[in-house]
Amino acid sequence: MTDIMWEAIRAVAEPDLKSIFDTDPGRLDRLTLTVAGLRFDWSKTHMTGALMTAFERLAEARNFTAHRDALFSGAVVNPTEGRAAEHCAERGEGAADSVAHAKMLHYRMRALIDAIEAEALGPVRHILHIGIGGSALGPDLLMDALGRDAGRYDVAVVSNVDGCAFEEAVKNFDPQATLLAVASKTFTTTETMLNARSAINWMIEGEVDDPYGRVIALTASPDKAIEWGVDETRILPFSETVGGRYSLWSSIGFPAALGLGWDAFESLLEGAAEMDRHFRLSPPEKNAPLIAAFIDQYYARVKACQTRGLFAYDERLRLLPSYLQQLEMESNGKSVKVDGSPVDGPTAPVTWGGVGTDAQHAVFQLLHQGTHLIPVEFIASIEPGHALDPAHHAALLTNCFAQGAALMRGRDNAGDPARAYPGGRPSTTILMEDVAPHTLGALLAFYEHRTFANAVLMEINPFDQFGVELGKEIAKAIEKDGPSGFDPSTSALIDLAMGNDD
């Protein structure tokens, strides 16, 4: 059944991107959409009316609507772990009891924030947030994007187990004025627990009277946090059904809620909820995450593109590529379908990217003239994030739009091939009204739903991540038993680096 669907998709005539606006003049209207302050423009991709119809049939064959309903109803959509995936409930969209539970936990977070602001835990000027992966990337992105002028607290996020990261983070922090947020869904992650221990030691060295009294735990495993020494009143729990890379909406977002203020955090959730409703209620041809997933699938499976480049033309969004790398690659980097059978094509593309205009002077050469075909995504904001000469923002946006036009149009140069540009290279542009809590919430929710829609089309489970476990296990075994029992290369490296060589 579904193979026939893919045959139908492959049979659709491929348009010539270089002349696509001449052959299909209505495409700008058809392939642009504005949702929650975000304008999506897919008109410079190979998407056509016929292709859209073929993909809509694929979505139907994959029971997309039923899968989407299951996601929002709190049904088990992560069968390998027997769990629902209820990040939408954190923003008020989902099963009524899950939404009520999430609201109650948000009230608790707000009450603790009020107490901190009232200095009930002593003076606080700095927040040291310790976590890794989904317990760090989201808060880091939010503070970097939105917190530049917040002027409330200095927030530093430490994730890497490399002590250099910790030393750098606390370099200008006064331990007496620091609040420590330990973020870990499981409260067992090696890197986080080691960094948290070092943070306690740093506080002890800084003569903080009651270092554990300055710890807030953000976790779905409150018992483990209590065991570690955190008082129950300073634990901000979240539900087991919220996945790590989908967790910034829960108490994992605590440093942002404290650092930006509660109103900003609420606005972030509302922006995400607006995108949730759009995804849940819009028909396929008007559904931004689903259309984006159709295009992702087309490039991955029909055009064999192995990567997707993502360029934020806004310094405030410089951490977006790393955030989306986890979201997309940890979710959809799989080799088996939900039923355990091997996947029948490529899954998540390698998501990579950078910041414009910097990236233009580094990697865009390959995008324009290299042999790879790389669909590119540009993200920019109409409103600048600074008060400098407007020429800065004009130059930034002009460059962004020029790149998309150049990739598509190309330029022939028969007499001088080194100076020829093949063109016909696709790009998508997402133009934000501004980089503000509401629009950023909507943008991140868009990417979550796009990832989910891709997974449904590929019949894979985007909510587990067993791929990361083997390496963790081996690291533990090396820590415990040393180099014995490993291949000669690994053993030699351990001996050399850990001083076990005789």
Q: Which residues here bind ligand F6P, judged by CB under 6 A? A: 132-135, 184-186, 189, 192, 244-245, 330, 465, 468
Residue (185 or 301) nearer to ligand F6P, CB: 185
The minimum distance between CB 218 and ligand F6P, in angstroms, equals: 9
Residue with Cβ nearer ligand F6P (166 or 378): 166
Q: How far is the CB of 431 from ligand F6P (least distance, A)?
A: 30
Nearest approach, Cβ of residue 221 and ligand F6P (Å):
8
- Dist. CA 157–CA 49, nearest whole Å: 45
If phi > 0 it is left, if psi is from -120 to 50 it is alpha, else beta; for residue 311 that is beta
Instruction: Give me the least distance between CB of 143 and ligand F6P, in Å please.
Output: 17
Residue 168: DSSP 8-state: H
Shortest gap between Cβ of 134 and ligand F6P (angstroms)? 3
Nearest to 209 by CA among 117, 112, 123, 111: 123
* Residue 472 is among the residues annotated as catalytic for this protein: yes
- Pairing outcome for strands 32-35 and 126-130: unpaired
Measured from the CB atom, the residue of 69 and 223 that comes closer to ligand F6P is: 223
CB of 41 or CB of 144, closer to ligand F6P: 144
Cβ distance 422 to 372 under 8 Å? no
The least CB distance from residue 255 to ligand F6P, in Å, is 14
* No. of helices (H) and no. of strands (E), the chain: 21, 11
Residue 224 annotated as catalytic? no
Q: Give the C-alpha separation, 38 to 378, whole Å.
A: 12
By C-beta, is 132 or 317 nearer to ligand F6P? Answer: 132
Catalytic site residue 330? Answer: yes
| Shorter beta-carbon distance to ligand F6P: residue 175 or 462 | 462
Instruction: Map residue 156 onto helix, strand or coil.
Output: strand
Select which of 119, 171, 207, 361 is catalytic: 361
| N-to-C CA span, the chain | 63
Smallest gap from Cβ 180 to ligand F6P, in A, equals: 15
The single-letter DSSP state of residue 286 is G
- The position carrying tokens 């634990």 is 235
Separation between Cα atoms, residue 113 and residue 130, nearest integer Å: 18
Q: Dig out the tokens for 195 from the structure.
A: 């960094």
Task: Round to whole Å and give the CA distance between 133 and 327.
Answer: 10
Please say whether the beta carbons of 244 and 134 come within 8 A. yes
Catalytic-role residue among 383, 472, 476, 479: 472
Residue type (1 letter), 250: S
Q: Report in angstroms the alpha-carbon separations of 40 from 286, 357, 398.
A: 11, 20, 17
**Nearest approach, Cβ of 193 to ligand F6P (angstroms)?**
9
Nearer to ligand F6P, 12 or 155 (CB): 155
Nearer to ligand F6P, 48 or 192 (CB): 192
Q: Which of 182, 248, 179, 249 is nearest to 217 (CA)?
A: 182
Kindly name the residue from 330, 334, 377, 393 that is annotated as catalytic. Answer: 330
What are residue 217's DSSP bridge partners?
182, 235
* Packed helices 262-281 and 288-297: angle between N→C axes, nearest 10 degrees: 70
Query: Counting beta carbons within 10 angstroms of the beta carbon of residue 207, is it exposed (0 to 12), middle (13 to 18) or buried (19 or more)?
Result: exposed
The set of catalytic residues is 330, 361, 472
